[in-house]
Amino acid sequence: MIEVIGAGFGRTGSYSLRVALQRLGYDPCHHMASLAEDPEMVTGWETAVHGGQVRWERFLASYRAAVDWPACAFWRELIAAFPQAKVVLTVRDPARWYASAHQTIYRYMAPRRGPAGLVMRLENSLHPPLGRRRAVCRRLIWEDTFGGRFLDRAHAMEVFERHNAEVVAGVPADRLLVFDVRQGWEPLCGFLGVAVPSEPFPHLNEAAAFRRMAAERRWRTLLRRRTRITQDTAIR
């Protein structure tokens, strides 16, 4: 049962928040990474992003928290489905957020042209679950959230700031924490009513990890493709 809803966009420290919440006992915590960890979750999100009916209590029954995309796009539905859950809105300087999002999730998850697009299509064909995750991202993030205009920096930043303002206006003040992960444990733990851990807050460099993972995946994909071509040639 969801007890904490992360309403902030991806690239606002949402992965650090995920790890922090799990350290505080809100484990497991759903995140975009969960779609790779449990590919069966993709089906439910496909239903949601295409406007289908989702029984949120059942769909997220095994999670105690949900942060990042896709969940943050459905914050209204989630606060209604889980009326006792608290909401954490992770925030970040809009310009820094845009630069980070552009270099990570847009670079590796958005539709591309040219050689990069060819590699993406190859990855999708060899890894269908990855292709499905990218399709969810394409519809939910690049089309529905940013209207196909993410590369318009001013527009994307306006969408980002409008989203944050709507969350602040739409969530009762006693259920909401506006949180910059640089603030560390104290405001988060105070809001949730839990003890502050003795260990440092998990300020994780997700951007570097994201790029490293994507590079490793592409290397494996190309190697697999080369092996397949070699095998086909040998058979002939």
Q: What would the pLDDT profile of 33-60 be if each residue is shown by its tens digit?
A: 898 888 889 999 999 999 999 999 999 9
* pLDDT(29) > 50: yes
* CA 103 centroid distance within chain: 15
Q: Average pLDDT, stretch 91-113?
A: 87
Burial (0-12, 13-18, 19+ Cβ within 10 Å), 111: middle
Q: Average pLDDT, stretch 184-206?
A: 93
More confident residue, 155 or 133: 155
List the chain domain ranges. Answer: 4-235
Which of these, 189, 86, 166, lies nearest to 78 by C-alpha position? 86
More confident residue, 172 or 203: 172
CATH homologous superfamily of 4-235 equals P-loop containing nucleotide triphosphate hydrolases (3.40.50.300)
Q: Average pLDDT, stretch 184-188?
A: 98
Tell me the pTM. 0.86
Using 50, 70 and 90 to split pLDDT, how confident is the model at 214? low
Q: Tell me what pLDDT residue 233 has.
A: 44
Name the residue type at position 183. Q
More confident residue, 218 or 103: 103
* pLDDT(128) > 80: no
Show the 3-state SS of 142-184.
HHHHCCCCCCCHHHHHHHHHHHHHHHHHHCCHHHEEEECHHHC
Q: How many angstroms separate the Cα of 235 from the Cα of each of 221, 229, 230, 231?
A: 21, 10, 9, 6
* pLDDT(229) > 50: no
